[in-house]
Amino acid sequence: MGSDKNTLCRIIPTALFFFVCALPLAGCGPTVYTAFQVDPLVEGKTFSSRERPAEIAAKPERDLLAEGYVLIGTLLVRQAEDGSKRTDLTSKVLREAAKRGGDLVILESNNKRTSEMRYKNGGCIKLEEYKQRFLEAGGTYCDQNNVCYPPYGFETVPKCKEWEQIPYTAYFTETEAKVFRRASAK
């Protein structure tokens, strides 16, 4: 994952440790974004990953805490819709929770469709011209010290400085879960 040039990892400044990684799907289909927010009570602690995917808890949070589970964070998996069949993100959440040391999850939302307004560039609305140097065909220029230079010329080239912003709605499927780990598990 870390060596994949398409992987995008960035730290989002919040009071809590929060990071987002974009994980491409085998080179095809829409990108899946995974965000994990560590619970403040376990911030700074590290947990070994689990070999098996986490399971969906059948009990409420208070019962899990009473049974010795610890909330280690909240996981969000989000996939942009591209017109193809919507993907079930539940299994992805269970695998990601296990990677972060989770044994159980409580689904806060499951394969929920969301949208947000975005903007893309349209036509150029502010054009600026600048001079660009280019190499001319022909002989070289030599100065009085016999230092020779290739012949350069200049041309005026247009460049767009401002683009029309066209609004559009982007659609996503997302699943969010609280991730729990048995406190006595190592």
With 0.85 as the threshold, say if the pTM is over it: no
Same domain, 81 and 139: no
Residue 24, pLDDT score: 37
Residue 154, pLDDT score: 75
Residue 85: inside a domain? yes
Residue 57, pLDDT score: 95
Same domain, 29 and 60: yes
Residue 7, pLDDT score: 32
DSSP letter string, 111-175? EEEEEEEEEEEEEEEEEEEEEEEEEPSS--EE-TTS-EE--EEEEEEEEEEEEEEEEEEEEEEEE
Residue 59, pLDDT score: 93
Same domain, 99 and 134: no
Joined together, the tokens standing for residue 84 give 């193809």
- Domain limits for position 91: 8-118+169-182
Residue 3: inside a domain? no
CA-derived radius of gyration, the chain = 27
- From CA 34, how far away is CA 115, in angstroms rounded? 17
Regions of the chain where pLDDT drops below 70: 1-30, 83-85, 134-139, 141, 184-186
